[in-house]
Amino acid sequence: MQKTITYIKQSNNSAVAHVYEHVIANHITRQLLGHKNYQLIDYELNADTYDGIIVLRITTDSAHLVNVFNKIILTPYIPLTEIEIAVEQIQCEYERSSDIDITKLSDTVKSLHKSPWTKREDFTISQPVSDEARTLTTQLGRFRRRIPQSFDHFDVTYTITDCPFELKTLGVYCLQIIGLNFIDKIYIDFKYCYDAGDQWAEYQSLAGYPHIITARKARNFSQKDFQKLLDKFLQTTIDDNFITKTRSYIEKDLSNPFPYFNQKSLYAKSYHVIGDKDLKQMVSEENVRLLFKKITATVVKL
User: In which element (H, E) is residue 69 found?
Assistant: helix 63-72
Q: What is the pLDDT of residues 156-215, one digit of tens each?
A: 999 988 888 889 889 999 999 999 999 999 999 999 999 988 877 665 556 678 889 999
- Cα–Cα nearest to 230, from 189, 173, 279: 189
Fold of domain 3-146? TATA-Binding Protein (3.30.310)
CB 95 within 8 A of CB 151: yes
CATH of domain 150-301: 3.30.830.10
* Mean predicted lDDT score pLDDT of the chain: 88
pTM of this prediction? 0.90
Q: What is the pLDDT of residues 130-171, one digit of tens each?
A: 656 556 566 666 677 778 889 999 999 999 888 888 898 899
pLDDT at residue 138, rounded to an integer: 64
Query: What residue segments make up the domains of the chain, in order of their start?
Result: 3-146, 150-301
The residue length of the chain stands at: 302
Query: Contacts for 181-185 with beta carbons within 8 Å, 24 or more apart?
Result: 181/33, 181/38, 181/39, 181/40, 181/233, 181/237, 182/156, 182/230, 182/233, 182/297, 183/211, 183/213, 184/29, 184/33, 184/39, 185/33, 185/229, 185/233
CB 167 within 8 A of CB 282: yes
pLDDT at residue 21, rounded to an integer: 95
